[in-house]
Structure 1
């Protein structure tokens, strides 16, 4: 829970600050200085903030990258240690220690970077149970391009209705970048919006966002890669693409469709209910007027084509649920009164 995280951070700051105060006060060389304990408080407080920042940063790094980087770091330090045995013959202690520190920094850094990169090439399928914490069906949820561009996923996450790890495949990132670099202005705006939404998700404390670098070179379509990745990781797919939803469901993949969620949350309108509507345009059939509810639901009003731009009262006659959303059919409650308006 969010409050538990806040309490933990506060306790960490208090412990580090008090510890810094006590340590600085016990150092013999500083014991005569009255300001030394308070400097220790500042140093302890700073270390606590650094630790909090490190946790927030490390949360965004995939587990196997962390393990690979750690293994690479240990190997680098081991190599540096072995090389340092050749420095025993050096009589100057300063040169020996400085050289050892340089070797540790160089080989430790190289090992950590190479380990985090090369671990991706191993492609071990057993990583998935580590990432899901061993739970079947897992908490991994793969985001497709459409749902990132849509943006409603950010509000859903911030409201706490979507838990677990959100996985963004690297090939989805590449598609977003391709759309953002498009020559078409409308596609370019959509692509940039998608990148902005992804950044907001990464900055949110409500969930963890992980970039998945697995790719499927034998597949060309992004949707096919999403399905293959979901099967490999035993993950769900979050989308608002109708066709992708059906293809994934056929293969036994759990799908969270944002459009279905939006339809479920729309206000219930019952036959006979009276709505106050603003007629915006003519309908496809003769005499029909079209209006919209606040949530975007289309309302067809019979015999309202001549009332464009006016507000009318209409009674609900029927409701039609389609794959594209919900349509409400109505008739004017009092045609004579509406004509006077």
Structure 2
């Protein structure tokens, strides 16, 4: 609908421009000296109509390109503005207005200068507006503290004040909320910046919680409980984002689009979302990768005491686990299922799913040596 309206407007503009161009051409010295239009009003009207229609048709044909350019410009401007917090936009606009007000008092005299007075006045207005916006944004925190008393100390000792961080916003996806470890991770203080919880993620959690499947319903309710704990118990800034992308159906795609729009990072434990985000250039914090990274490092040659709990895939192998869940494959350990034995690490394999340790029974290695 908007494209049709803009196309009509550009066509009318073309007709108006064509009319004025035709009128100017008919009144030029060349047209007057030719004598072709002097006594022939019909020729004048014919040429004027032709030029008017010509410009109207030209603007009608190129209006889709102009519409596309306007749409891309608006989208770019919207994305650029969305990267800034509302407080920055508000203080920037206020500072620009104050700068323009101050410059108005200075340039009244300059406008009287012949030829260059107007140019100087416009230049000073632009400089003062930009300067005012920069100062207001840089002094935002001090101005907020001055006018709104944002640094008041709570009367109660138990009152919790959620800090506002300048770090990149962290957008939570559905899987990491249901997982629940994000709450404990935020409590440790390793995650900085505001936590962004998109409204469409809340909707997905609500649908999961209302599912007829018992497992899904429990997962959805667990996710909602985690969100309530995050909002009530964490000292971090928590923001419910109302921004949506109606033209995008999938929640994961909306999530990545939101991160691109606000310049944030997505926190997830979804392997597929991680790969898609990396492909689209969206920064990702994967808590599964974090969990693997902080597991204790085991080197070949180390000794440990383990309990073999089951047999392995290969003949004679036994499987054991460390306290953090790391799998240990023991060569010849099948006959020791249910027993505690001393083993020596032979190699360590890091996979996408986690870390695997290969070991042999200590007595077997000593006999072999």
Separation (CA, whole Å) in 1 of partners of 2:326 and 2:344? 15
Q: Does 1:129 align with 2:84?
A: yes
Q: Does 1:215 align with 2:170?
A: no
How far off its partner does 1:335 sit?
5.1
Runs of 4+ displaced beyond 6 Å? none
How far off its partner does 1:131 sit?
5.1
Q: Does 1:318 align with 2:347?
A: yes
Separation (CA, whole Å) in 2 of partners of 1:183 and 1:311? 44
The count of aligned residue pairs is 214
Q: Does 1:197 align with 2:231?
A: no
The corresponding residue for 1:268 is 297
The corresponding residue for 1:232 is 261
Give the alignment of 1:139-154 within 5 angstroms: 139-154=168-183
Separation (CA, whole Å) in 1 of partners of 2:337 and 2:195? 45
The corresponding residue for 1:243 is 272
The corresponding residue for 1:163 is 192
Using structure 1 for the length normalisation, give the TM-score.
0.59
- Would the aligned equivalents of 1:157 and 1:206 in 2 still touch at CA under 8 Å? no
Separation (CA, whole Å) in 2 of partners of 1:293 and 1:185? 32
Using structure 2 for the length normalisation, give the TM-score.
0.54
The corresponding residue for 2:26 is none
Among candidates 264, 273, 288, match of residue 317 of structure 2: 288
Task: Structure 1: give runs of 5+ residues left out of the alignment.
Answer: 1-122
Q: Does 1:302 align with 2:319?
A: no
User: What per-residue deviation string (whole Å, max 9, x for no partner) do you get for residues 26-78 of structure 1?
Assistant: xxxxxxxxxxxxxxxxxxxxxxxxxxxxxxxxxxxxxxxxxxxxxxxxxxxxx
Separation (CA, whole Å) in 1 of partners of 2:184 and 2:284? 19
The corresponding residue for 2:99 is none
- Would the aligned equivalents of 1:138 and 1:235 in 2 still touch at CA under 8 Å? no
Task: Please report the RMSD computed on the Cα atoms of aligned residues, expressed in angstroms.
Answer: 2.4
How far off its partner does 1:216 sit?
1.5
Q: Cα distance 1:176–1:272, how it changes in 2: closer, same or farther (>3 A)? A: same
Q: Does 1:257 align with 2:286?
A: yes
The corresponding residue for 1:331 is 360
Higher-Rg structure is 2
Separation (CA, whole Å) in 2 of partners of 1:296 and 1:132? 45
- Would the aligned equivalents of 2:312 and 2:318 in 1 still touch at CA under 8 Å? yes
How far off its partner does 1:307 sit?
1.8
- Would the aligned equivalents of 2:167 and 2:192 in 1 still touch at CA under 8 Å? no
Task: Structure 2: give runs of 5+ residues left out of the alignment.
Answer: 1-76, 89-136, 139-165
- Would the aligned equivalents of 1:143 and 1:166 in 2 still touch at CA under 8 Å? yes
Q: Cα distance 1:249–1:149, how it changes in 2: closer, same or farther (>3 A)? A: same
SS in 2 for 1:223: helix
Separation (CA, whole Å) in 2 of partners of 1:196 and 1:244? 23
How far off its partner does 1:127 sit?
4.2
- Would the aligned equivalents of 1:132 and 1:140 in 2 still touch at CA under 8 Å? no
SS in 2 for 1:334: helix
